């Protein structure tokens, strides 16, 4: 399905002069976990017929790479539960011009698939882990099994990814006291970790997000009691601010949508599993790329035109507020976090 692709490399620039070189693809909205900050317990997932096929996703990924995107992250939902995920990633990894294929996962399937993922060309992998306490892990993920995820983390380390990073969403009075142990775990495993402030995406019933807010500065203060954090000067080009734990190889990142706005450096857009191109995680602006690929099958120029045109509606910044009703009704699993 690649008849009239062209290889000129224009770049995607939005109205605010930001260059877009990073695409996240949510290959499924489904998940084997039901994390309390991400989903409600009884989620309704999209009917399969509404999803893009993996072939359509590959076609869209190709368009982005030809438009100058050099990094693609495969995410979800839980990407590893979509049938065909591995061969799909192998094909994305082969796109000429793509420098980095990376993935975010909850780790539940990694014991079985880490080696294959590495062989498929996935360079770096982020694994979500919010606590090392099995009971709290079950409460936060509702269905997850901590030993299984820990085995998955070990499998990823053994598989030789260029970088393994943990992601922890921190909720006050839920797991904020676990941050220091998580950092010590990352040091022991010689991997990195990022702490993320919870984002108000979608309605959840588990807790009031304004009450669970725990700022990155508070986490840093807690970590400073045990570790010396040295600022890392080189920028990763993303929303995280990085520090290195003195005397270790571990970097600590802070992703702080509330306390340190990062929109000025935004370099990314997201493709949802149903084919919406989301221009910002914290706004509803989107373009229906499924309609474009289905009404003009095999027409790469039409698709590229739609993508270039979409840059005109990329918003300047997110609309996240801690109090009041969420303004974004889509959950993180449907957004491609
Ligand atoms: N299922 C995979 C996982 O959990 O890593 C990939 C998808 S998940 C939506 C991607 C990331 O988004 C995870 O690190 C998760 O912790 C984070 N996340 C989910 N809901 C969030 C929220 N409301 N605020 C901040 N981060 C969130
Ligand atoms: Fe699933 Fe990831 Fe959302 Fe947890 S954060 S429910 S693992 S998609």
Q: What pLDDT, in 10s, does the model give residues 245-281?
A: 999 999 999 998 777 777 878 889 999 999 999 998 8
Confirm whether residue 70 is marked as ligand binding.
no
* Sign (positive or negative) of CA dihedral 59, 65, 67, 71: positive
Residue 239 pLDDT exceeds 70: yes
Report how far residue 284's alpha carbon sits from residue 326's, in angstroms, rounded to the nearest whole number: 12
Distance 296 CA to ligand 1 centre (A): 33
Atom of ligand 2 nearest to the CA of 38: 3
What CATH superfamily is the domain 22-335? Aldolase class I (3.20.20.70)
Residue with tokens 């009239």: 4
Report how far residue 228's alpha carbon sits from residue 232's, in angstroms, rounded to the nearest whole number: 12
Domain ranges for the chain: 22-335
Residue 5 pLDDT exceeds 50: no
pLDDT single digits (tens) 165-200: 999 999 999 999 999 999 999 999 999 999 999 988
pLDDT recorded at residue 325 = 59
Determine the longest span between alpha carbons in the chain, in angstroms: 59
Residue 56: Cβ within 10 Å count:
18
Atom of ligand 1 nearest to the CA of 209: 23
pTM of the predicted structure, to 2 decimals: 0.93
Choose one of 25, 74, 89, 128 to mutate for the ligand 1 pocket test, by most ligand atoms within 8 angstroms of C-beta: 128
Output the ligand 1 site: residues, CB below 6 A: 31, 37-38, 75-76, 78, 104-106, 128, 167, 169, 196, 198-199, 201, 332-333, 337
Residue with the bigger pLDDT between 294 and 212: it is 294
191 in contact with ligand 2, CB cutoff 6 A = no
78 in contact with ligand 2, CB cutoff 6 A = yes
pLDDT above 70 covers a percentage of the chain that reads 90
Confirm whether residue 89 is marked as ligand binding.
no
Neighbour-count burial for 199-223, b at 16+ CB within 10 Å, e otherwise: bbbbebebeebeebbbbbebbbebb
pLDDT recorded at residue 284 = 75
């Amino acid at each position: 399905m690649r008849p009239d692709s062209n290889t000129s490399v224009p770049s995607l620039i939005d109205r605010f002069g930001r260059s877009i070189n990073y695409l996240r693809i949510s290959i499924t909205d489904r998940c084997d976990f039901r994390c309390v900050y991400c989903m409600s317990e009884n989620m309704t997932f999209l009917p399969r017929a509404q999803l893009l096929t993996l072939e359509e996703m590959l076609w869209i990924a190709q368009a982005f790479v030809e438009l100058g995107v050099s990094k693609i992250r495969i995410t979800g939902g839980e990407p590893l539960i979509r049938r065909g995920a591995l061969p799909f990633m192998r094909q994305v990894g082969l796109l000429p011009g793509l420098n980095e294929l990376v993935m975010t996962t909850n780790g539940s399937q990694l014991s079985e698939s880490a080696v294959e993922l590495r062989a498929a060309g996935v360079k770096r992998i982020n694994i979500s882990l919010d606590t090392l306490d099995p009971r709290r892990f079950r409460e936060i993920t509702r269905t997850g099994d901590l030993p299984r995820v820990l085995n998955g983390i070990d499998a990823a380390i053994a598989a030789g990814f260029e970088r393994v990073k943990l992601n922890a969403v921190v909720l006050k009075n839920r797991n904020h006291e676990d941050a220091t142990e998580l950092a010590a775990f990352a040091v022991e495993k010689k991997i990195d970790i990022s702490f993320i402030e919870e984002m108000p995406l979608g309605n959840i019933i588990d807790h009031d997000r304004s009450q669970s807010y725990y700022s990155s500065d508070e986490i840093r203060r807690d970590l400073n009691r045990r570790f010396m954090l040295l600022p890392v000067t080189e920028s990763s080009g993303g929303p995280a601010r990085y520090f290195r734990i003195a005397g270790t190889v571990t970097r600590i990142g802070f992703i702080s949508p509330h306390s340190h706005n990062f929109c000025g450096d935004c370099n990314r857009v997201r493709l949802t599993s149903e084919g919406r191109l989301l221009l910002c995680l914290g706004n509803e602006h989107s373009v229906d790329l499924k309609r474009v690929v289905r009404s003009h099958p095999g027409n790469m120029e039409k698709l590229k035109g739609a993508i270039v045109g979409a840059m005109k509606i990329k918003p300047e910044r997110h609309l996240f507020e801690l109090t009041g009703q969420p303004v974004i009704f889509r959950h993180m699993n449907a957004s491609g976090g």
